[in-house]
Amino acid sequence: MKPTDDHTAEKLNPEIEPSLERLREDIQRAVASYNDAINAANPIGASLSSVVREVQDQWSSFAAAVKPIADSWSSTASEIKAALEGANRFFSEMAQEWAAAQLSLQKAMQEATPRIRKALEGADKLGTSGWTLPMSMTVFEMQWIEDLPPVDMDVHFMEYYAARNDSDLHDLEQRLGEIKALEEFRPLLAQCFGAYRRGEFAITIAPLVSLFERTLRSLCPSKHFYSAKVTDFVGEQYDNVKQNAEDSIEVYLWMSLFAFVRWFYHHYGPGQANATRPFRHGIPHGTQVPPNERIEALRLFHALSTATTLYKS
Strands (E), 44-142: none
Specify the DSSP class assigned to residue 201: -
Q: Name the pTM for this structure.
A: 0.64
Model confidence over 105-160: pLDDT tens digits?
A: 555 545 555 555 665 667 788 888 999 988 777 666 666 666 778 788 899 889 88
Low-confidence ranges of the chain (pLDDT < 50): 1-18, 37-55, 109
State the pLDDT at residue 1: 44
- Give the integer Cα–Cα distance in Å for 289 and 38: 45
User: Of the candidates 93, 304, 275, 18, which has an alpha carbon nearest to the alpha carbon of residue 179?
Assistant: 304
State the pLDDT at residue 66: 53
State the pLDDT at residue 2: 42
Model confidence over 16-48: pLDDT tens digits?
A: 444 555 555 555 555 555 555 444 444 444 434
How many helices, marked H, and strands, marked E, lie in the chain? 11, 0
- Give the integer Cα–Cα distance in Å for 88 and 81: 10
State the pLDDT at residue 13: 46
Q: What would the DSSP string read from start to end of 237-255?
A: HHHHHHHH-TTSHHHHHHH
H or E element, residue 123:
helix 123-128
State the pLDDT at residue 208: 96
